[in-house]
């Protein structure tokens, strides 16, 4: 037979087929393994994303859990500090206050690190004079430096250097570097902070101290998280190893660099921040209105604190029913009790333990002001604010959001839901009193402006309140000649209960519904008398009065003159013009 038909040729065919089959099988196995490996990598990546999200939620929740107890520690301490005059008590209370504030700062730093890890911390940069910014913040440490006899100096080659930075994060950087320098500088030493331009590309900030220095083999690890310099000269100082790690992350978030040099004569930390804004994305440049909401972080190591102008009203007794009504919505019973104790002497207070209960109580009582926590079970503060601000019955009520979330994003979210103010835990009780009193006073002035005859459109009220007043006025105008138009009919046509209508009209105009109806009727009567459309008796019937005598009495009470005198005065003005 031909060679391709021989037994050995057939054996070769079989071997070739087996080889091809094995190759195909091996290729398929590899493809399956590769696909499985890719799926595992995708699964692990998804798990990492979920873990990061869980970690972020955990830190947000733990922030709330930590800040609320710290509020309940700092609040009573500050109250006791204002009452105790003896030096021994003052000394002990100051120690407690200082350490509670230090604990708060450590919590904030841990939260910032977690946000950086999860990629959730974003820059909100705007143009700042970095010289003024650093100088003002360094000044906060002067009292602490004097206590240790440390010579704290600030210098700059120019009075002003403009740079795009996130103010809050730069303050955190300066705080950590200066606080670290003061901590390791012995009594009588020197700390120097300098700001200057470098190569027309960077702003250079240096913080130098005359401390014991850092060993050369440890320099490269000072920015590691939770790392403590293991040196006998520095182990005597407290520290967590968080501050410098966070500082490095915040500098790099600005696309900057940080370095350190050290010797036995001290250490110098150098921060380089790029000039211009080419290194920033559009999302990292803050709009002016958002940037303006950022509040400089208060120096927690200073005994001084900035408090709003105190316009607190005179204390009212518990039985004083004319005192403003407040609703406190807070899931922590201790914090509810603390705020009630702080505010009770001046206000009538009701409280609710969660958002749903708070909404129900707000609709029932129509308070003059609401203080609500943000993080609550069931319905959070943002949702409560959104619901009440879009309900015509409650849209006029000022709302203060109380929260442990200190980021600008959280503040903006709160303000976008219609909140009138934002207080971050822990808070000073004087700040709480002042903010409440300021909003109550603002509402009183708005009512006063209405009574003086200012148009609703000219007043600083929400569009929903403006629409409500216009609708209420239209209803009253449609019943202008109806002497049988009652509050019951008014409330039914507006769609409110009588109590809700009373409190809504009272809050916006300072009139009861009955007096508001009379006010508008007499305003209409005045315009009719000016135009001499009819005589006084006919006008009184046209605006819903059954008795001309009653009309004349009410007219005199509102305008300070009789209808006939009003007509004569209007005629005289018409002739003179």
Q: How far is it, in rounded angstroms, from Cα 152 to Cα 137?
A: 12
**Whole-number pLDDT of residue 41:** 87
pLDDT reading at 206 higher than 90: yes
Cβ burial, residue 7 (10 Å; 0-12/13-18/19+): exposed
- Measured CA angle at 119 (ends 114, 120), to 5 deg: 75
Task: Quote the distance between the C-alpha of residue 190 and its chain's center.
Answer: 37
- pLDDT band, residue 189 (cuts 50/70/90): very high
pLDDT reading at 399 higher than 70: yes
- Name which of 21-30, 147-156, 336-345, 504-513 the model is least confident about: 504-513
- The single residue listed with the structure tokens 């808070």 is 427
Please list, in sequence order, all residues whose beta carbon lies within 8 angstroms of the beta carbon of residue 478, skipping any fewer than 6 positions away.
Answer: none
Q: How far is it, in rounded angstroms, from Cα 298 to Cα 444?
A: 31
**Whole-number pLDDT of residue 409:** 66
According to DSSP, residue 284 is labeled G
**Whole-number pLDDT of residue 288:** 54
**Whole-number pLDDT of residue 577:** 57
- pLDDT band, residue 241 (cuts 50/70/90): low
Q: Domains in the chain, ordered, with CATH?
A: 3-118 (no CATH), 126-285 (3.30.565.10), 325-451 (3.40.50.2300), 457-576 (1.10.10.60)
| Higher pLDDT, residue 450 or 339 | 339
According to DSSP, residue 125 is labeled B
Q: How far is it, in rounded angstroms, from Cα 73 to Cα 247?
A: 28
| Higher pLDDT, residue 462 or 108 | 108
**Whole-number pLDDT of residue 63:** 63
Q: What is the pLDDT of residues 358-368, one digit of tens each?
A: 999 999 988 99
Locate the DSSP E strands across 239-298: 257-263, 266-274
Q: Are strands 266-274 and 348-352 parallel, antiparallel or unpaired?
A: unpaired
pLDDT reading at 180 higher than 80: yes
C-beta of residue 510 within 8 angstroms of C-beta of residue 450: yes
Which has the closest alpha carbon to 181: 151, 160, 220, 156?
151
Q: What is the pLDDT of residues 402-453, one digit of tens each?
A: 877 656 666 677 777 788 888 888 788 888 999 999 898 888 877 776 665 5
Please list, in sequence order, all residues whose beta carbon lies within 8 angstroms of the beta carbon of residue 40, skipping any fewer than 6 positions away.
Answer: none
**Whole-number pLDDT of residue 203:** 94
**Whole-number pLDDT of residue 300:** 40
Which has the closest alpha carbon to 276: 252, 300, 306, 256?
256
Q: How far is CA 453 from CA 333, 458, 532, 553, in A?
A: 44, 10, 22, 20
Q: How far is it, in rounded angstroms, from Cα 507 to Cα 397?
A: 8
**Whole-number pLDDT of residue 229:** 56
Q: What is the pLDDT of residues 483-498, one digit of tens each?
A: 888 888 888 888 888 8
C-beta of residue 144 within 8 angstroms of C-beta of residue 94: no
Task: Quote the distance between the C-alpha of residue 303 and its chain's center.
Answer: 23
Q: What are phi and psi of 232, to 5 degrees?
A: -60, -30
pLDDT reading at 28 higher than 70: yes
Percent of the chain at pLDDT > 90 equals 19
Q: What are phi and psi of 373, to 5 degrees?
A: -70, 160
**Whole-number pLDDT of residue 541:** 87
Q: How far is it, in rounded angstroms, from Cα 179 to Cα 200?
A: 29
Coil, helix or strand at residue 535: coil
C-beta of residue 152 within 8 angstroms of C-beta of residue 145: yes
Please list, in sequence order, all residues whose beta carbon lies within 8 angstroms of the beta carbon of residue 35, skipping any fewer than 6 positions away.
Answer: none
**Whole-number pLDDT of residue 305:** 34
- Name which of 104-113, 159-168, 238-247, 546-555 the model is least confident about: 238-247
Q: What is the pLDDT of residues 51-70, one digit of tens each?
A: 767 766 676 666 667 777 88
Q: How far is it, in rounded angstroms, from Cα 529 to Cα 534?
A: 7
Rounding to the nearest 10 degrees, give the CA dihedral for residues 549, 555, 556, 557.
110
Q: How far is it, in rounded angstroms, from Cα 568 to Cα 449?
A: 28
Of the chain, the end-to-end C-alpha distance in Å amounts to 135
**Whole-number pLDDT of residue 9:** 82
CB neighbourhood size of 208 (10 A): 20
Which has the closest alpha carbon to 402: 486, 329, 479, 504?
329
Please list, in sequence order, all residues whose beta carbon lies within 8 angstroms of the beta carbon of residue 422, skipping any fewer than 6 positions away.
Answer: 400, 401, 403, 411, 414, 415
pTM above 0.85, yes or no: no
According to DSSP, residue 376 is labeled -
Q: What is the pLDDT of residues 284-331, one digit of tens each?
A: 887 653 434 344 444 444 333 333 334 444 444 453 677 899 999 998
Coil, helix or strand at residue 272: strand
**Whole-number pLDDT of residue 259:** 92
Token pair of 414 as six digits: 């709160």
Mean pLDDT of 377-402: 88
Task: Quote the distance between the C-alpha of residue 531 and its chain's center.
Answer: 52
Mean pLDDT of 371-397: 87
Q: What are phi and psi of 72, to 5 degrees?
A: -75, -15
Task: Cite the DSSP H helix spans in 378-512.
Answer: 381-389, 408-416, 429-451, 463-478, 487-494, 498-509
Q: What is the mean pLDDT of the chain?
A: 80
**Whole-number pLDDT of residue 85:** 67
- The single residue listed with the structure tokens 């316009």 is 311
Q: How far is it, in rounded angstroms, from Cα 152 to Cα 473?
A: 65
CB neighbourhood size of 161 (10 A): 21
C-beta of residue 552 within 8 angstroms of C-beta of residue 562: yes
Token pair of 404 as six digits: 């442990």
C-beta of residue 222 within 8 angstroms of C-beta of residue 260: yes
Token pair of 140 as six digits: 């906060």
**Whole-number pLDDT of residue 66:** 77
**Whole-number pLDDT of residue 204:** 95
- The helix (run of H) or strand (run of E) holding residue 282 is none
**Whole-number pLDDT of residue 227:** 55
């Amino acid at each position: 037979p031909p060679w391709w038909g021989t037994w050995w040729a057939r054996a070769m065919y079989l071997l070739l087929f087996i080889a091809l089959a094995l190759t195909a099988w091996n290729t398929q196995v590899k493809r399956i393994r590769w696909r499985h490996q890719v799926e595992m990598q995708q699964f692990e990546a998804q798990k990492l994303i979920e873990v990061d999200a869980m970690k972020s939620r955990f830190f947000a929740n733990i922030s709330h859990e930590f800040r609320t107890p710290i509020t309940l520690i700092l609040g009573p301490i500050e109250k006791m500090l204002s009452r105790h005059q003896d030096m021994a008590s003052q000394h002990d209370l100051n120690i407690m206050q200082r350490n509670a504030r230090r604990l708060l700062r450590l919590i904030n730093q841990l939260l910032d690190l977690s946000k950086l890890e999860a990629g959730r911390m974003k820059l909100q940069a705007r143009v700042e004079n970095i010289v003024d910014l650093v100088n003002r913040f360094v000044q906060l440490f002067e009292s602490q430096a004097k206590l240790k006899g440390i010579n704290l100096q600030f210098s700059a080659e120019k009075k002003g250097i403009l740079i795009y930075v996130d103010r809050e994060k730069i303050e955190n950087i300066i705080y950590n570097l200066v606080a670290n320098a003061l901590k390791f500088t012995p009594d009588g030493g020197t700390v120097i902070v300098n700001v200057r331009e470098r190569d027309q590309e960077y702003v250079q900030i240096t913080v130098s101290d005359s401390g014991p220095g850092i060993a050369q083999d440890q320099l490269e690890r000072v920015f590691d998280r939770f790392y403590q310099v293991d040196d006998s000269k520095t182990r005597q100082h407290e520290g967590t190893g968080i501050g410098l790690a966070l500082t490095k992350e915040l500098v790099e978030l600005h696309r900057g660099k940080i370095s350190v040099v050290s010797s036995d004569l001290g250490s110098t930390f150098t921060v380089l921040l790029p000039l211009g804004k080419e290194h920033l994305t559009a999302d990292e440049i803050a709009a002016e209105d958002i940037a303006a909401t950022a509040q400089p972080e208060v120096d927690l190591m200073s005994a001084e604190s900035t408090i709003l102008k105190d316009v607190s009203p005179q204390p009212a007794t518990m039985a004083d029913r004319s005192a403003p009504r407040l609703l406190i919505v807070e899931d922590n019973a201790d914090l509810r009790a603390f705020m009630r104790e702080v505010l009770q002497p001046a206000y009538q207070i009701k409280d609710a333990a969660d958002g749903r209960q708070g909404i129900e109580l707000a609709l029932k009582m129509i308070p003059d002001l609401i203080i609500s926590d943000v993080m609550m079970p069931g319905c959070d503060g943002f949702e409560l604010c959104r619901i009440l601000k879009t309900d015509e019955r409650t849209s006029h009520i000022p709302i203060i959001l109380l929260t442990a979330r200190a980021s600008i994003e959280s503040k903006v979210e709160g303000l976008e839901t219609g909140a009138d103010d934002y207080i971050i835990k822990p808070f000073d009780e004087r700040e709480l009193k002042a903010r409440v009193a300021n909003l109550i006073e603002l509402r009183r002035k708005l009512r006063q402006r209405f009574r003086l005859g200012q148009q609703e459109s000219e007043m600083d009220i929400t569009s929903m309140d403006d629409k409500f007043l216009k609708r209420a006025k239209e209803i009253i105008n449609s019943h202008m000649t109806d002497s049988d138009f009652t509050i019951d009919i008014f409330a039914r046509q507006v769609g409110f209960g009588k109590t809700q209508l009373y409190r809504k009209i009272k809050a916006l105009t300072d009139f009861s519904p009955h007096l508001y109806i009379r006010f508008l009727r007499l305003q209409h009567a005045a315009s009719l008398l000016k135009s001499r459309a009819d005589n006084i008796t006919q006008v009184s019937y046209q605006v819903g009065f059954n008795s001309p005598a009653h009309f004349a009495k009410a007219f005199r009470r509102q305008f300070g003159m009789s209808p006939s005198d009003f007509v004569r005065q209007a005629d005289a003005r018409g002739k003179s013009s």
